[in-house]
Amino acid sequence: MDLNNDKDILQNLKDAACSEELIKEFFSLKTSGNDKLIMQLLYQHKTRLLKNLHYYQKKIDCLDYLIFQLNQTK
């Protein structure tokens, strides 16, 4: 990815499930050269994604346990 190419950055942000609001804020911060706030913004989004991942992983674990228990009774 070319970090000087806004099109590449935009695609990466979309691929990372960033909202339109986050994308606008990212480019606003990029224009102003505020790298510290850009990094905070990206890490915050990453944290949200990880929380979702963990949330759904727990649900998958519950289903796996149920499936395991059902298979044990057969």
User: By residue range, what is the domain housing residue 11?
Assistant: 6-72
1 domain-assigned:
no
The model's pTM is 0.82
- Number of domains within the chain: 1
Q: How far apart are the first and last CA of the chain?
A: 52
**pLDDT value for 32:** 96
Q: How far is CA 51 from CA 59, 66, 71, in A?
A: 13, 23, 30
Residue 35 near residue 50, CB atoms below 8 Å = no
- The whole-number mean pLDDT for each consecutive block of 10 residues of the chain, a chain of 74 residues, reads 86 97 98 96 98 97 97 88
35 domain-assigned:
yes
